[in-house]
Structure 1
Amino acid sequence: MKTFALIGAAGYIAPRHMKAMKETGNELVAALDPNDSVGIIDSYFPDAHFFTEFERFDRHIDKRRRAGEAQIDYMSICSPNYLHDSHMCFALRSGAEVICEKPLVLDPRNIDGLSEIERDTGQKINTILQLRVHPSIIALREKVRAASTHGRKHEVDLTYITSRGRWYMQSWKGDTRKSGGIATNIGVHFFDMLHFLFGALQDNRVHLNDPTKAAGYLEYEHARCRWFLSLDVNDVPQASFEAGQRTYRSITIDGEEIEFSGGFTDLHTLSYKEILAGRGFGVEENRVAIETVSAIREARPVTNDDLAHPFASRAA
């Protein structure tokens, strides 16, 4: 049994981490969040120590180490995106390995710094890139690789609309300096998936980049991809909206819809199993996706491009 600490216990994604810790037979001993709405802890680890101040959390972790108590083996990071870098450094210097939510960092230049701290401390950073362990995505990757010898690039359309209320833009997620913007906060795991499936990134164009929606074109070694992301319920196709749906997700490859919506609730547990077995995704596996979303964030949108996603002009 491994001992865990958790930073960001009140966040949306934290319960999936607690569930993964429990289902892999491990123990959460300490958790931190400035927000004290963390009753969910009782469902998994009611004996865990909880702190709302980083300084007290830091002291507790240090006292455990000095007193010879069980070492914190892993520290899971579920804090706001802009704090990931600092919290990972703290975890490594505390003698723990890291399990960090995506995006690993906002600035690609910080990736090299994290690698240096890994070398200095002898600890490892692991990232939750859950789509890489999804059975349907793994099978699709093998299919793409088998067909890649023919030289033709696949035509891909990625459309992801996940409507959010007014609260979103008032939270840290609506602040580009803290979240990285919609392409980073909502899209980074899809962009990692595209790189995982189709190889090296060769072209990156942006056609729309607003606070609540973005669109562009990515060309990979084995695919040409038009993408569209939105938080606006008005972008949901009419037929889906009339059916009561406030979200819409579609990925087509060469006109064929790819279905992988099943099994999402178990992917964090599967990711933890892989990490605990020494097969976690490390710092370098994150580089292409982080560089992709960083470039999107800084790009000047291109208009009147034939490669734009069909939803882009409608949403502009």
Structure 2
Amino acid sequence: MKNFALIGAAGYIAPRHMRAIKDTGNNLIAAYDINDSVGIIDSISPQSEFFTEFERFYNFAAALKRKPSDALDYVSICSPNHLHYPHIATSLRLGADVICEKPLVPTPDLLDELALIEKETGRKVYNILQLRHHDAILKLKEKVQAARSDKKFDVELTYITSRGKWYFESWKGDPKKSYGVATNIGVHFYDMLHFIFGKLENNVVHYLDDAKAGGFLEYERARVRWFLSIDAKDLPSHVVGKKTTYRSINIDGEELEFSDGFTELHTTSYQEILAGRGYGLEDARHCIETVTAIRTASAVHGSAGEVHPFVLALR
């Protein structure tokens, strides 16, 4: 049984981490969040200490180091994106390994800084890249690897997840904290594309604003037109009134169905990390480089055949 702490306990994704800690037979010692809406803990780990002030959480965690059997083995981080780096660095210095949500950090430079802190502390950072464990994604990766080596797949990726007015009042709507819509809702898709189709060779942005983004990515094994949005007005007519989310990945005219199978992926990620097969800093580098380039790019008109249909509809 390993000892865990959780930073960002009131966040949307935190309950999946709590359940993963419990389902892997481990102990959530303490949790921290500036917000106290964390009643979910009662049904998962009611014995956990809880703090709303980081200083008190830090002092508690530091005191645990005095007795090896009580010391933290892992800190799981679900805090807002802009706090990942300081929370990871602090947790490493507390003598714990770290499991962090994506995006791990906003830039490759901060990955390099974390690599230095790993060396200084002897601890390790793991990123939750759960799509790499999805059965449909793994089967597609096998299909791509089995195809002739010079074949490039034509891919169209569309992800629309409707968000209300609250989004832009929260940290998620602040590009200084979330790093923008492509980073906040898209980073795991860019990791998935790299995982399946190899090294990125070309990255072009065709549209970018606070609520949506689109562009073209060329990988070793694929040409990808992509579009991401949190605007419900972008939903296709056939899902309006039925669903608030639309997810589609089309490969050479064939739809990839992967709507199901997400529920247990955090637990699977934890199982792999605890077994020594987790994804570390270098595994996260490719998608961090991708979103950094998108976030800092200027949108261009785009060549014929490279522009996503949903972007064309905006023009």
Specify the TM-score bucket, using the shorter chain as the normaliser: over 0.9
Range moving further from structure 2, 225-234 or 59-68: 59-68
Q: Write the letter of the residue equivalent to 2:310.
A: F
Deviation at 1:313, TM superposition (A): 2.2
Q: Deviation of residue 69 (structure 1)?
A: 5.0
Give the distance between the partners of 2:40 and 2:291, measured in 1 at CA: 32
CA distance in 1, matches of 2:255, 2:94: 46
Write the distance in 1 (CA, Å) between the matches of 2:240 and 2:106.
33
Cα deviation code 1:163-213 (max 9, x no counterpart): 000000110000111001010000000000000000000000000001000
The number of residues matched between the two structures is: 314
2:89 paired with 1:89? yes
Moved more, 65-74 or 230-239: 65-74
Give the structure-2-normalised TM-score.
0.98
CA-to-aligned-CA distance 1:242-263 (integer Å, 9 cap, x gap): 4x22111100000100011111
What's the CA shift for 1:97?
0.4
Kindly provide the CA deviation profile for residues 78-127 of structure 1, in whole angstroms up to 9, marking residues without a partner as x. Answer: 00001101100111110100000000001221111111111111111011
Give the secondary structure class of the aligned counterpart of 1:75: strand
Q: Contact 1:161–1:232 at 8 Å: present in 2 too? A: yes
Moved over 3 A (4+): none
Question: Within 5 Å, which residues of 2 pair with 1:145-164?
Answer: 145-149=145-149, 151-164=150-163
| 1:97/1:124 contact within 8 Å kept | yes
Q: Is 1:182 aligned with 2:178?
A: no
Letter in 2 for 1:246: T
Q: How big is the shift at 1:71?
A: 1.2
Q: Which runs of 5+ in 2 are unaligned?
A: none
Give the root-mean-square deviation of aligned CA atoms. 1.0
**1:200 alignment partner in structure 2:** 199
Query: What secondary structure is seen at the aligned counterpart in 2 of 1:288?
Result: helix
2-side partners of 1:304 and 1:85: how far apart?
35
CA contact 1:148–1:222 (8 Å) conserved in 2: no
Task: Determine the C-alpha separation between the residues in 2 that align with 1:67 and 1:99.
Answer: 22
* Counterpart secondary structure, 2:272: helix
C-alpha separation in 2, matches of 1:45 and 1:94: 22
What 5-or-longer segments of structure 1 have no aligned partner?
A: none
What CA distance in whole angstroms lies between the structure 1 residues aligned with 2:97 and 2:314? 43
Q: Structure 1-normalised TM-score?
A: 0.98
Q: Does the Cα contact within 8 Å between 1:212 and 1:232 map onto a contact in 2?
A: yes
Secondary structure of 2:10 counterpart: coil
* 8 Å contact kept, 1:235–1:315: no
Q: Distance in 2 between matches of 1:261 and 1:2?
A: 32
2:292 aligned residue: 294
For residues 315 and 167 of structure 1, the distance between their equivalents in structure 2, rounded to whole angstroms, comes to 24
